[in-house]
Structure 1
Amino acid sequence: MFNLLPRHSIKMMLAGILAVSLTACASGAPKPKEAAAPKSNDAPAAAAEASKYPEKPIVVVAPSGAGGGWDMTARTIAKVLTETKAVGKPITVENKPGGGGAVFLAEYASGKKDDYKLFVSSPPILINNLKKEGNSPFGYKNTTPLAQLTKDFGAIAVSANSKYNDLKSLLNDLKADPTKLTIAGGSAPGSMDHLVSILPAYKYGIDPKKIKYVSYDGGGEALTALLGGNVDVLGTDASSLDQYVKAGKIKVLAVASAQRLGGSLKDVPTMKEQGVDAEFNIWRGIFGPKDMSADAKKYWDDNLKKLNDNDVWKKELQANNWESDFKSSAEFNTFLGQQEKLIQDMLTALGMQK
C-alpha cells in the first residue's frame, strides 16, 4: 500500500505519527516504570534518609561553674539522653563560666555556627541583655530557642548556724542597716541571683542599691562562700539547695513560689506567706545557634519532646525538685518575648534598666 504513495507522503505520515507520540508523552502518558515518581507516602522516608544529623558528638554547655542550676540541668539532660539511647552519639557537658553566662554567649553568638554545640540557660539570657551595667549586646534572639524544660523558683538561704530562722527577721535587720549583711549569688550584679536576692528586700521597702551583693561564677561557688562564712545570705534557685538541706548545712528561709514546694523544702514557707509579695519563676531551657539548620532543629524538636515524656527524665525532675514546664521551640520563642517585657519592667523598677 505504501508503495502506492509518493515517497515524500510516507515521510510526512511518519513525522506526524512521531509528533503525536511526543505530544502524548508531554501531556501525561505513562512513563517507564524505572522513571516513575515516588508515591506521596514515600516522601517522609526520603526526607528522613536525606537528614544525617547528628553525625558527630554533641556538646551541651553550662555557662557557669560546677554545682549550680545550669550545670545540674546540662548534666541531667546529657545523662538521660545517653541512658535512654535517644541520641546515637556521645554527649559531653562543658562548663564555661563568666559574667553570669554573658561571656559564653558573646563567644557563642559571634563565633562560627555549630549545630553540635547547645547550651542551657534561664532568665539571665534576658537580664544580661537588658540591664544597664555590665550588659551583654547578645540575647535570646541571637540563638535558636529549642525548648523550655523545667521551672524552678528563687530561694533565700543562710548557713545552719545563722541566727536567722525566717525571712522577716532578716529583712528587719536589713531595713535597719542595708549594709549590715553580705548577700551572695552565682551570677553578676543585676543578673538572676542578684534579682532573687534583692527582690524581697525591695518589696519590703529597702533600697536595693544599698544592699551588699557579692557575685560568684555559679551557684556552687556561692554556696561554698556561704558555708565558709564568707557571706551571710545566699540568693539562688531552690532546687540547687536540696542536698545541703538534707545534710543539715543550711536553712532555707523562703522560696519565691506561689505555693510551697515539695521534697526537702516542703516545710519552707513562701515569701508571700511571710508578708512579702514576691515571686520569681526560674525557667530553664536549651538553646542552639542562630540560623540552626532545619535538619538539626527538627531533630531536637522531636527528641526534646520525647525527653520530656520519658519516665527516666520524670524521675530526675523529682529527684532534683524541678517542675516540668515543657514548651516547644515555637512556644518557647513566644514565651521569651513575654518574659523580656516582664524583666524590663522589673529592672526599670530597680533602676537597673539599660
Structure 2
Amino acid sequence: MKITHITTAFVCALGLGTPVFAQSEIDNPECVAPANPGGGFDLTCRVAQTGLEPHVSEPVQVTFMPGGIGAVAFNQFNTNRTDDGSAIVAWSTGSLLNIILGKYGEFDENDVRWLATAGADFGAVVVSADSEYNSLKDVMDDLASDPQSVVVGAGGSVGSQDWMKGALLMREAGGTPMQMRYVAFDGGGDAIAALLGGSIEVYTGDVGEMVPYLESGDMKILATLAPERLDAPFDEIPTAKEEGYDVEWTIMRGFYMGKDVSDADYQKWVDAFEAAYATEEFAKVQNERGLLPLNMSGEELTSSINTTMGELRTIATEAGLIQ
C-alpha cells in the first residue's frame, strides 16, 4: 500500500486571487501557532506575519498554544473563541489527519471556517551535521538490517503525518511501520532540539522548517520527499525517488478561524490573503520559507478541504489507522 500524493488537488491549484488594494481593518490580528516555537506551525504563522504586513492595518502577532499537535487550539476555537474575528490558527495536512483519527476530540472539519493557504511544503529526512549518515541509502540500509538501531523522531505521535513519513520509509526498506523505533515530540521545534542534542538520529520533518538550520550548518537534509527537486536553496538535495526509494509526502499549510466568526470579519482576512497572493512579495516570502506557492482562500479552499478529507479517510483506512 502506497501513501502518496495526498494533496494533489491542492498542489495543482495555484490560482491567484483578484487584487484588493485597500488594507483590511483588523483589530489586534493574531496568528496562533498550535505548538511550541520552531516547527511547521510557527513557520506557517511567520508567512502570515510577513506576507500580510502590507495588507492589514496592524501587524500580525504570533502566539503559541502547544498541546496535542494542534488539539488544544482546535478545541479552544471550538469552545471559548468560536467568534474571535481577530485570530487565525495555523494548520497542516497533519491537522486534517488528526481530525480524521479523532485526536482533536468531538469536533471535525465542519466545526471551523477554513480561511486560506500559506503554501505547500514537503517531507524531509534530516540528520545532524555530525551524523554518521551521509545519504538516505545509509539510513535505509540500517532500517532494512536492524530497524531498532535507528532512532527516528518527529513532532507527532503514531499515526501523525510525521510518523507516516517514517512509516513509508520503513515499508520501503522492507519492514513494517511497527518495527520502527519512533519517538514522538510535541512539535517540530522539540524534535529538532532532540536531534541536535543526540536523543534521536533521524528527523522526519518538513523542508520549510529547515531553512535557518541549513544556513547555520547544524543539520543535513539527506533527501526531500517531493515529487521532483525543489528550487534553491534546496536544489542540491536529491529526492527519495532519485535515491531509488518510492516515497513522497506533500504537506499543505494554511489557516482556519472559529466557526462563529462573522462573515464580515472572515471576509477581511480573505481579502488580505487575496491581495497578498497577487504580489511578487508574497511569493518571495513563500520561497524563503521553502513553500510552493499554493494559493487558495474562502469557499475554494473549503471545497478542496472537503475533497482532501475524503482522500485522507481512504488512506487512513487502508493504513489500518481507522476502521
TM-score tier (shorter): 0.7 to 0.9
1:44-193 counterparts in 2 under 5 A?
Answer: 54=25, 56-82=27-53, 84=54, 86-113=55-82, 114-131=84-101, 134=103, 136-193=105-162
1:339 is matched with 308
TM-score by length of 2: 0.86
Correspondence for 2:280 among 311, 318, 328:
311
Distance 2:295 2:78 in 1: 25
In structure 2, what residue type is equivalent to 1:180? S
Shift of residue 54 of structure 1? 4.5
Shift of residue 188 of structure 1? 2.6
Indicate conservation of the 8 Å contact 2:154/2:191, yes or no.
yes
Shift of residue 110 of structure 1? 2.4
Shift of residue 119 of structure 1? 0.7
SS at match of 1:56: coil
Correspondence for 2:259 among 278, 290, 293:
290
Identity of aligned residues (%): 30
| 1:202-260 Cα shifts (integer Å, max 9, x gaps) | 23332101212112222111111101111010011111112222322212111111111
TM-score by length of 1: 0.79
Distance 1:346 1:199 in 2: 13
SS at match of 1:214: strand
- For the aligned residues, what is the CA RMSD? 1.9
2:184 is matched with 215
Indicate conservation of the 8 Å contact 1:208/1:350, yes or no.
no
In structure 2, what residue type is equivalent to 1:343? L
1:351 pairs with 2:302: no
**Structure 2: runs of 5+ lacking an equivalent:** 1-23
Distance 2:140 2:295 in 1: 35
Distance 2:51 2:99 in 1: 31
Distance 1:212 1:136 in 2: 27
1:317-328 counterparts in 2 under 5 A?
Answer: 317-328=286-297
**Structure 1: runs of 5+ lacking an equivalent:** 1-52
In structure 2, what residue type is equivalent to 1:72? L
| 1:98-153 Cα shifts (integer Å, max 9, x gaps) | 11111211121122421222111111221112226x45333332110011230010
Indicate conservation of the 8 Å contact 2:32/2:45, yes or no.
yes
Over 4 Å off, 4+ runs: none
2:169 is matched with 200
Shift of residue 88 of structure 1? 1.6
In structure 2, what residue type is equivalent to 1:74? C
1:248 pairs with 2:228: no
Task: Between the two structures, name the one with larger relative contact order (CA 8 Å, sep ≥ 6).
Answer: 2
Query: Which protein shows a greater Rg?
Result: 1
Shift of residue 346 of structure 1? 2.7
Indicate conservation of the 8 Å contact 2:143/2:173, yes or no.
no
Indicate conservation of the 8 Å contact 1:125/1:139, yes or no.
no
Distance 1:58 1:299 in 2: 11
Q: Which moved more, 1:198-207 or 1:95-104?
A: 198-207
SS at match of 1:227: helix
Higher share in helix? 1
1:237 is matched with 206
Distance 1:200 1:345 in 2: 20
Distance 2:128 2:266 in 1: 44
In structure 2, what residue type is equivalent to 1:81? L
Q: Which moved more, 1:315-324 or 1:341-350?
A: 341-350
Shift of residue 329 of structure 1? 1.6
